[in-house]
């Protein structure tokens, strides 16, 4: 099992719809979770961070975390064509050596918002 | 601009040559990460530093790769005897402490011909 999995995609939604992006992770000891947006040819840009169970909202973005199910998701409301990008889920996976962790990424989900 | 800075932005090199990339993290950040990304994949972890100490190195990283962070400030990533398979985007990120948000530089795109 991969440490961070993003299996769905690519995803295409019409403008104004809600886009739902999902991610699962393998290590129950993980403490922090992030969503990055990456436009083609550019570097990843942090858009959301979440540390505790439940929902966290920031503008049109909502991150959801369920540690019991080892599941984190990102909802994008009122999707816009400018939201078309690859969305990367990242999780701090604890290391077996000492009290450190490694920021580990999924392969990403490509979102296309149709005008 | 006080974000993460990487240099150069692009590098074309012949197979067998050595290359070195530089990363300047956000000034108060003590964690620095190096990742490699190829088309259609997420960033692949290479190594990270906490201050000047290299705490973890990917098992996938061959002996041709080495990274340093002298004095806990900027970092360099060197690839010796480059191969065509080394062609990728090399990304640097920094964060304040463990488990906090990490921010990326613009990346260095390496092409080995």
Q: Say whether B43 and A105 touch across the interface (CB within 8 A).
A: yes
DSSP string, B25-77: --TT--EEEEEEE-TTSPPEEEEEEETTEEEEE-TT--TTEEEE-GGGS-EEE
Distance between CA atoms of A32 and B86, rounded to whole angstroms?
Answer: 30
Chain B contact set for A51 (CB, 8 A) = 99
Report the pLDDT value the prediction gives residue B1, as an integer from 0 to 100. 53
Are the C-beta atoms of residues B107 and B5 closer than 8 Å to each other?
no
* Closest B-chain CA to A93: B99
Q: Say whether A100 and B55 touch across the interface (CB within 8 A).
A: yes
Sheet strands (E) in A43-108: 45-50, 54-58, 61-66, 71-76, 85-94, 101-105
Q: Say whether B45 and A102 touch across the interface (CB within 8 A).
A: yes
Q: Is the pLDDT of residue B26 over 90?
A: yes
Report the pLDDT value the prediction gives residue A99, as an integer from 0 to 100. 61
**Contact B39/A at CB under 8 A:** no
Mean pLDDT, each 10-residue run in order, chain A (115 residues): 85 96 93 96 96 96 97 97 97 76 92 96
Report the pLDDT value the prediction gives residue B31, as an integer from 0 to 100. 92
* Residue for token pair 């809600």: A18
Report the pLDDT value the prediction gives residue B56, as an integer from 0 to 100. 86
Burial of B46 (0-12, 13-18, 19+ CB in 10 A): buried
């Amino acid at each position: 099992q991969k440490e961070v999995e993003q299996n769905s995609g690519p995803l295409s939604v019409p403008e104004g719809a809600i886009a739902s992006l999902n991610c699962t992770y393998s290590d129950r000891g993980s403490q922090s979770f992030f969503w990055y947006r990456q436009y083609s040819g550019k570097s990843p840009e942090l858009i959301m961070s979440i540390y505790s169970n439940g929902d966290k909202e920031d503008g049109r973005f909502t991150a959801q975390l369920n540690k019991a199910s080892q599941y984190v998701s990102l909802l994008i409301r009122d999707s816009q064509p400018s939201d078309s990008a690859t969305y990367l889920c990242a999780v701090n996976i604890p290391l077996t050596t000492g009290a450190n962790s490694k920021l580990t990424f999924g392969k990403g989900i490509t979102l296309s918002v149709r005008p | 601009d006080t974000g993460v800075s990487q240099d150069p932005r692009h590098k074309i090199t012949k197979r067998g040559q050595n290359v070195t990339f530089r990363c300047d993290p956000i000034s108060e950040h003590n964690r620095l990460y190096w990742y490699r990304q190829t088309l259609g994949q997420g960033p692949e972890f290479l190594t990270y530093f906490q201050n000047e100490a290299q705490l973890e190195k990917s098992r996938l990283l061959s002996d041709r790769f080495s990274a340093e962070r002298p004095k806990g400030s900027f970092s360099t990533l060197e690839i010796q005897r480059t191969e065509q398979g080394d062609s990728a985007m090399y990304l640097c990120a920094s964060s304040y402490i463990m488990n906090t948000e990490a921010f990326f530089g613009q990346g260095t795109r390496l092409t080995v011909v």
